[in-house]
Amino acid sequence: MIKKLTFLLTLMLVVTGISAQQWNLMPMPKSIEAADGAYRIQSEGVTVTLQGNYHQRLPMNAAWFLTRLGKRTTIPMLPKQGKEIVVKVNRAGTVKLGENESYQLKVTPTEVTIEAETDLGAIYAMETLLQLVNRDAQGFYIPAVTIADSPRFPWRGLMIDAGRHFMPVDVIKRNIDAMAAVKLNVLHFHLTEDQGFRIECKTFPKLHQLGSNGEYYTQEQIKEIIAYANLRGIRVMPEFDMPGHTTAWMPGAPEIASAPGPYEIEKRFGVFGATMNPTSEKTYKFLDKFFKEMAALFPDEYMHIGGDENNGEQWNANPAIQKFMKEKGIKDNHQLQAHFNKRLLKILQKHKKKMMGWDEIFQPDLPQSIVIHSWRGRQYMDEAAQKGYQSVLSNGYYIDLSFNARKHYMVDPLPDTTHLTAEQQKRILGGEAPMWAELVTLENVESRIWPRTAAIAERLWSPNPAAPIDDMYRRLMVVSQRLEETGSRHMANREPMMRRLAGTSNIQPLMLLTNAAEPIEGYKRHGSQKYTTYHPLSRFVDVTMPDAPDAIEFSLLLNRFIESKSSDTYVELSKMLTRWEMNHQQFAVIAKENPLLTEVEPLSINLAMLAATTNVMLKQLYYGKMLTKDDAAKMERVIIELAKPVAEMNLPLADDAKRILELVTDSTNTLPSTEE
């Protein structure tokens, strides 16, 4: 209850101290107190003065801060000129789980001061400071404010799957920069899959030579990524999935397989039979050598071994494995995998690493030093915590499934309703947003990660309760633009993709449609057709974003209109609907005799009709006119029909149309329909 009151008080301070439109912070700080006045950024710019003991990452991040500030303001940030921003730190931080990441930030009209125990906290403070920068007719300024901040959870991650589709080094680096901007601190690097073995292995070179189609990271590139992440205060934890999801291992290491093969890299997606042999000493000798090499390459204390979705087909069909199970009293494949995990744990411990894996690895007789990565949900995390195990939540954060930010934002690793004791709650380490790569390539992966992951980052950093959804979306739209300053291409890559589809530089009608449409959610796309690694993923649906930006804007405006009935807001809404309604005429011109847009044209027609229908209902709502039940039922059938998926896309406007319909339906009026 105290935490709730503290956060509500924070929101009150935000509103009373300064216009809410100026607090474009994400994540929201733990404590924020507004003051009078502002720190003006003059034409001579600002400079950052560092004090105390710190790692080389601090001056590099100070330079990164000044570079972005200069680009935003167009003011040259010359060394040792302009006002000072003073940064004081006590010691160099270590990029590890549980390091102190807190900071204090004070802005007055005459000075800006950052104080932190470690340089990691100071780096986060500079990110907050950059988010505070605002503008008015006089120029750029930072509002006077005092902030005391620290993360709610120590584990705040993004998982990037480079196994199913390879992600080049520059893509990984761009995402590291974006992660740092929203205070995420773990890059979970998924490096092996049925579709690819993505890391150079000098001990067993056939692994990457035969298992990657030539797309893999050299060890020098891995070192480069780790060093780059370290400078941003981000851990890099590798995942080597086993004993299942290992098809790509087997062309180069058939001796550790549970069936003779032959094997080749999978081009399809799903759960396959290829599985390591848990009864052969060859397997463990091989893995001992493999992890010795990988442990020396990756400095993080944790290694993720996957452990999920083993279908057991090869184990069931192998007489030698069945004989082993009978002799050892192993009753089923679940127990056999537990046997594998125990042997694997000893190997990891030998090389001074801690084991992390998906829910399936949880066994009560494994030591409490392992970390459970939960895709199943809080129930399983709570059970693990009660038995002394630490865990990280990903259930509800699967950003590859195209759920909107609202749904992710409502997920909490440790809600206030928890029944865990205070000691058990400490075992909930935080969460990770997994970006599985069946349906993304380097061209559109960033548009699937950002900006929604910023909303997840807030839930992992900021105190409870969560901010109102409207405010979250308002800030998220600003943060999306700010993420472009870090180099993220979540918006930039969309236009070239659209020009390719259109075959012309005139893409405005297509962009208007794509900004109003979203990919279908969940696993529905997987079921719509059999995708493979050969699919280029360059269709219209691959350009759309899980939170259609114009649809979000419309929904926020509608919320405001429902509360205020403002004529100005009504006009804005009506203009948006009219633009959507009229857009199909221009879209049809580009789509004519264009086979790439044939599947999309029905969606454009549906948007036009849905917008026209919604505009009629909005006008009725504005003028206080009501529909009879019968008319409303007919209107609802129209909306439902227009809302049906087309070419693996939805129109989120349909949800707002249904909201308006409810508001203009007279629940007491039973007059017959006026429609003939």
Active-site positions? 309
Q: What angle do CA 388, 393, 399 make, to 5 degrees?
A: 170
Q: Secondary structure of 109-160 in the HEC alphabet? A: CCCEEEEEEEHHHHHHHHHHHHHHCEEECCEEEEEEEEEEECCCCCEEEEEE
Distance, in Å, from the CA atom of 573 to the CA atom of 561, rounded to the nearest integer, reads 9
Q: Secondary structure of 457-506 in the HEC alphabet? A: HHHHHCCCCCCCHHHHHHHHHHHHHHHHHHCCCCCCCHHHHHHHHHCCCC
Distance, in Å, from the CA atom of 155 to the CA atom of 396, rounded to the nearest integer, reads 16
Distance, in Å, from the CA atom of 388 to the CA atom of 424, rounded to the nearest integer, reads 7
Query: Residue 37 phi/psi, 5° resolution?
Result: 90, -175
Distance, in Å, from the CA atom of 288 to the CA atom of 306, rounded to the nearest integer, reads 17
Residues listed for the chain: 676
Note whether 76 and 70 are within 8 A (CB): yes
Distance, in Å, from the CA atom of 142 to the CA atom of 118, rounded to the nearest integer, reads 24
Distance, in Å, from the CA atom of 5 to the CA atom of 11, rounded to the nearest integer, reads 10
Distance, in Å, from the CA atom of 109 to the CA atom of 668, rounded to the nearest integer, reads 59
> How far is residue 393 from each of residues 381, 448, 466, measured CA to CA in Å?
8, 19, 17
My answer on whether omega of the bond before 413 falls inside 30° of 0, hence cis, is: no
Contacts of 264 (CB under 8 A, 6+ apart): 247, 251
Closest among 29, 48, 318, 64 to 178, alpha carbons compared: 64
Distance, in Å, from the CA atom of 233 to the CA atom of 121, rounded to the nearest integer, reads 9
Q: What is the three-class DSSP state of 47? A: strand
Contacts of 346 (CB under 8 A, 6+ apart): none
Closest among 262, 277, 249 to 337, alpha carbons compared: 277
Closest among 639, 619, 638, 512 to 576, alpha carbons compared: 512
Distance, in Å, from the CA atom of 351 to the CA atom of 293, rounded to the nearest integer, reads 9
Distance, in Å, from the CA atom of 278 to the CA atom of 332, rounded to the nearest integer, reads 13
Q: Which residues pair with 432 in a beta bridge?
A: 157
Task: For residue 494, give both structure tokens.
Answer: 């969309």
Residue 34, amino acid: A
Query: What Rg, from alpha-carbon coordinates, does the chain have?
Result: 27
